[in-house]
């Protein structure tokens, strides 16, 4: 990758000028050390590849948590004109609407710490996790599953799992418009039917956390955060259903790219014009999978509340567990942006990236409109996570996008090799972090050393002005797949 020309703009921005078949520049947010590391892998090449796609508007963007992915890099952002642009499943990923929800509580760490192990056990028992996990007490008929795919989180609320207030604090209100469940294959529907309300495996988690540090008091007050408070993060997506939707449409998109004469530097970037039948069908199927993910996190929220009530013997009015926000990390959505002085409707692909709308934006919940949209950035189970808000500068430069997490630096295989012979659960317990997981292999794959230090990532984001740090969260108990 040393043959890719990269120009440093400032301490946290790097330009990849147009070269070869690129239609636009690449823009990478990274520290000098991050860029040195990036030059040894293929992610920069993927930034260049995305820049070759038809109808791209602005640069092909990479966030500081960038690493190699399928087609697009993880940490990649690209916007496409609604008339001339394309949509690519590789720009969304297999886990459609993998995202994070953050719940605040009215509890202090002193109230929770004596029961933290019991809470971890109850959450692990109550919320299925692991490969192929499913709930035995939630059986969806095919017609009911189609309602989930259409309504998203609202379906869960209508069925007693939460309140309308939850929906007010979810990106897109917890449902992407235009979903068409009829476009999903029987296999996709079959895979999703028993997996609603489950965490899954890999890097998915449920985490009880402590608000360790406040970086912006005004924003923290509006978000309802205070030092020593107990909060809960939920990180999961559309499970096997979303995977199957992606897999099904990759086959269709490979044929569509040939049909429309789109030259691809990498077949994993297969795509179709947004205006084509294939492009419209993918977006409608993707929206259905995204709505499944919103409903999934809403159900898990209900069972988190139930678990806290059971273990702590407190009612809802005492626990005060409410949704701060819920964000997508893998999505392609139509949005209105101003670019080069013109108002344009664009399809913004965010793959391993978070929407970060600025203060005053109408899609930011009214309560938070003076500070900007909350941005939830998980780190790793052994260190910390962050809450940020979007900025006006970021809206203009990155189409209202920022990073989504720490970003892997080790493959799962290398992480397991590094963890060999170690007692990771015991190491974390010595640091006051309880882990419950369906397999030791998953814990090994998710060791802290497998990820960048998320502080380095969010520091680049804040220095660049595309996000503002509000709070740091420290893990107390982690449930892994």
Instruction: State the catalytic residues.
Output: 404
Specify whether the CB–CB gap between 89 and 253 falls below 8 A: yes
What phi-psi label fits residue 99: left (phi over 0), alpha (psi between -120 and 50 degrees) or beta? beta
Alpha carbon separation from 150 to 166, 186, 271, 280 (Å, rounded): 18, 16, 24, 16
- Give the Cα separation of 181 and 84 in Å (integer): 27
Q: What is the DSSP letter of 203?
A: T
**How far from chain centre, in Å, is Cα 299?**
17
- Give the Cα separation of 192 and 187 in Å (integer): 9
Triad 403, 197, 109: Cα angle to 5°:
65
Q: Which two tokens stand for residue 197?
A: 């309300």
**Concatenated DSSP letters of 349-411:** EEES-EE-PPTT-TTS-GGGTTT--EEEE---TTS-EEEEE--HHHHHHHSSEE--S--BSS-
- Give the Cα separation of 71 and 90 in Å (integer): 5
Contacts of 151 (CB under 8 A, 6+ apart): 158, 175, 291, 295
What phi-psi label fits residue 308: left (phi over 0), alpha (psi between -120 and 50 degrees) or beta? alpha
Beta strand 354-355 with 74-81 is unpaired
Alpha carbon separation from 46 to 78, 175, 295, 306 (Å, rounded): 12, 30, 32, 44
Among the listed residues 86, 98, 92, 4, the one whose alpha carbon sits nearest the alpha carbon of residue 43: 4
Rg of the Cα trace of the chain? 21
Beta strand 86-87 with 272-273 is antiparallel
- Give the Cα separation of 382 and 265 in Å (integer): 38
- Give the Cα separation of 107 and 278 in Å (integer): 49
């Amino acid at each position: 990758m040393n043959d890719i020309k990269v120009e440093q703009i400032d301490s946290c921005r790097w330009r990849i000028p147009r070269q070869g078949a690129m239609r636009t520049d690449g823009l990478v947010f990274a520290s000098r050390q991050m860029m040195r590391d990036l030059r040894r892998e293929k992610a920069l090449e993927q930034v260049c590849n995305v820049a070759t796609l038809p109808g791209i508007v602005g640069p092909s963007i990479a966030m500081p948590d960038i690493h190699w992915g399928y087609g697009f890099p993880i940490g990649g952002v690209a916007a496409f004109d609604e008339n001339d642009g394309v949509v690519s499943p590789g720009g969304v990923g297999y886990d459609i609407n993998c995202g994070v929800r953050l719940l605040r509580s009215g509890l202090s760490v002193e109230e929770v710490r004596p029961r933290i192990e019991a809470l971890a056990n109850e959450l692990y028992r109550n919320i299925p996790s692991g490969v192929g996990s499913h709930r035995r007490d939630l059986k969806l008929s095919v017609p009911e599953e189609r309602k989930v795919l259409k309504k998203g989180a609202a379906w869960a609320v209508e069925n007693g799992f939460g309140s309308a207030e939850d929906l007010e604090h979810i990106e897109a209100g917890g449902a992407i418009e235009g979903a068409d469940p009829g476009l999903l294959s029987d296999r996709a529907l079959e895979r999703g039917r028993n997996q609603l309300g489950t965490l899954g495996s890999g890097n998915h988690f449920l985490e009880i956390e402590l608000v360790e540090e406040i970086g912006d008091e005004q924003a923290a007050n509006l978000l309802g955060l205070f030092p020593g408070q107990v909060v809960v993060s939920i990180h999961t997506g559309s499970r096997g259903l979303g995977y199957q939707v992606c897999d099904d449409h990759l086959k269709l998109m490979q044929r569509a790219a040939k049909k429309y004469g789109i030259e691809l530097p990498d077949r994993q970037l297969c795509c179709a014009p947004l205006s084509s039948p294939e492009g419209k069908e993918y977006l409608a199927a993707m929206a259905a999978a995204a709505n499944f993910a919103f409903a999934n996190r809403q159900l898990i929220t209900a069972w988190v509340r139930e678990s806290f009530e059971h273990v702590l013997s407190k009612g809802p009015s005492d626990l005060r567990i409410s949704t701060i926000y819920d964000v997508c990390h893998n999505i392609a959505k139509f949005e209105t942006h101003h670019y080069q002085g013109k108002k344009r409707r664009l399809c913004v692909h965010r793959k391993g990236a978070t929407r970060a709308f600025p203060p005053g934006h109408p899609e930011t919940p009214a309560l938070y409109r003076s500070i900007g949209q909350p941005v939830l950035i998980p780190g790793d189970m052994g260190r910390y996570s962050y809450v940020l808000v979007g900025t006006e500068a970021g809206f203009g430069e990155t189409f209202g996008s920022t990073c989504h997490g720490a970003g892997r630096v080790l493959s799962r295989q290398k992480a397991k090799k590094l963890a060999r012979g170690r007692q990771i659960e015991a190491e974390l317990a010595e640091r006051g972090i309880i882990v419950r997981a369906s397999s030791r292999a998953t814990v090994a794959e998710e060791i802290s050393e497998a990820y960048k230090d998320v502080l380095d990532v969010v520091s680049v984001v804040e220095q660049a002005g595309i996000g503002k740090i509000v709070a740091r969260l420290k893990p107390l108990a982690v449930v892994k797949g």
